Amino acid sequence: MANISKRMDKDKNKVISYRIRVSRGYDGQGKKLKPYEMTYKPEKGMTERQIEKELQRQVTLFEEECKKGTIGTAANLKLRDFIPQYLEIKKGTLSPRIHFEYERTLNDVILPALGHIKLTELRTIHVQTFVNQLQGDVRRKKDGTIDEKNPKLSPATVRRKLTVLQSVLTQAVKLGLISQNPADSKRLSLPKVTTPKIEIFSKQAAARMLECLEDEPLQFQVLVQLAIMSGCRCGELCALKFSDFDYETCKMTVERSAYKLKGQPIAIKPPKDYEVRTITLNPHCIELVKLLQAEKRREAQRLGTAWKDSEWVFTQANGEIINPQTPTVQFSKFLARHGLEHKKFHALRHSSATLLLYGGANIKTVQQRLGHADIVTTNKYLHAVQEADEQAANILQDMFITQKKHSAEQAEPSIMQKIG
């Protein structure tokens, strides 16, 4: 017998969809198999009676497919039935955060729209209709209200959701379930996406920011200093331990990253692209880390058993690892407090790469410091460097033109002098 569970909206006032599960029994070793699962989302405007009737029809059809054993055959496999297998396969290749986002997009967006279609019957026209629907969807804030400033999903958001579907269907092609990907971008008419400009601090803005940083708590000072001097990702910084620093050689090893999924505790994973790397820091950064370690030891002595003994560099008040979402909030408040232009915390990483290249560092060196698996990713910073170089040339040109004009005005007699 099927098990039915409701999925409510954020306010717990309205049913968004129903999850239907049917038991698959046990395997040869007595291990319980993962149940068959599908999602039913009522159409807009349906009455409660209509929803109940259609739900029962969906349950009956689904149970029949499960009993006949046609639920898992390639010819009858629906998109909704393939998703659990896809997500299981991707556990080993996607980061936990991206896997979580993919699963949420599949359940909330893709399955309600396309989950009922068989893989072998899914066509490009279905995908195009799905894309068109996304472009008409409204953007909602965290509280569920419509974002009045940006009421529609951006082209980039539409593309991100499509990317998830493309990944699913690419996996289906690899497994031989379908011969080609109906969501191939070459077959679709997609909204144009403007490549976002890399957000960086100029040399002057970075210097001003570091000057303001001197009035901040030591832990925050170290966090921002390491971010701009090492170019590390936020999660990598949050997962640093004091044992990752070699005070003699001024080197720091990056071998883990912290992440936080909604409703789950802070967890640790390898760095992105599994790129464990060692970065050389300046002596000033190393001295700040030493001071912070001494401060943590004093705090541990003061709190006694209330201190969660650990080697984390960046901690909460009780010694536990810092929430990887905290630096973003703290950095935003810091910039506002000092009247500095708002930029994301990730802009420190972009700034580190750009300033290094602008200062003459080899692009291969920058790639290694940032932990990019592919140098093509690092190449995106060359455009920012070129823009900075052009701006510098324009500044110099303006200086010389102003100076030349000033000299000419001094040399040329005034109109009154000519008359006289």
With tokens 């026209």, the residue in question is 125
Among 366, 368, 371, smallest CA distance to 353 is for 366
The yes-or-no answer to whether 78-194 and 203-379 have a common fold is no
Q: What is the pLDDT of residue 370?
A: 84
Return mean pLDDT, the chain: 84
- Give the Cα separation of 85 and 89 in Å (integer): 6
Question: 4: part of which helix (H) or strand (E)?
Answer: strand 3-8
Tell me the pLDDT tens digit for each residue of 365-384.
Answer: 888 888 887 766 677 777 66
Domain 203-379, what fold? hpI Integrase; Chain A (1.10.443)
Phi, psi (deg, nearest 5) at residue 315: -130, 165
Q: What is the pLDDT of residue 38?
A: 78
- Give the Cα separation of 181 and 174 in Å (integer): 10
Tell me the pLDDT tens digit for each residue of 15-70.
Answer: 888 888 888 888 777 788 878 877 787 877 788 888 888 888 888 878 877 776 65
| β-strand partners of 15 | 8
Name the residue ranges covered by the structural domains of the chain. 1-72, 78-194, 203-379
User: Measured on CA atoms in the order 164, 170, 172, 174, is the torsion positive or negative?
Assistant: negative
- Give the Cα separation of 57 and 40 in Å (integer): 11
Out of 4-13, 56-65, 83-92, 330-339, give the one with best mean pLDDT.
Answer: 330-339
User: pTM for the full model?
Assistant: 0.67
The radius of gyration of the chain's CA atoms, rounded to the nearest angstrom, is: 28
Out of 47-51, 119-123, 292-296, give the one with best mean pLDDT.
Answer: 292-296
pLDDT band at 71 (very low <50, low <70, confident <90, very high): low
Q: What is the pLDDT of residue 162?
A: 96
Whether residue 173 contacts residue 179, with contact meaning beta carbons closer than 8 Å, is answered with yes
- The DSSP annotation for 91-128 comes to TTTS-HHHHHHHHHHIIIIIHHHHTTSBGGG--HHHHH
| β-strand partners of 334 | none
Structure tokens at 316: 């909460």
- Give the Cα separation of 399 and 122 in Å (integer): 63
Q: What is the pLDDT of residue 79?
A: 94
Spatial neighbors of 84 by CB under 8 A, at least 6 apart, are 34, 37
User: Which segment of 130-144, 205-219, 245-259, 403-417 scores lowest on mean pLDDT?
Assistant: 403-417
CATH of 78-194, one of 3.40.50.800, 1.10.10.10, 3.90.25.10, 1.10.150.130: 1.10.150.130
Among 317, 384, 376, smallest CA distance to 349 is for 384
Phi, psi (deg, nearest 5) at residue 228: -85, -30
pLDDT band at 287 (very low <50, low <70, confident <90, very high): very high
Q: What is the pLDDT of residue 419?
A: 39
Helix axes 218-230, 203-213, angle to 10 degrees: 160
pLDDT band at 146 (very low <50, low <70, confident <90, very high): low
In the predicted model, is pLDDT for residue 413 greater than 60? no
Mean pLDDT of 188-201: 85
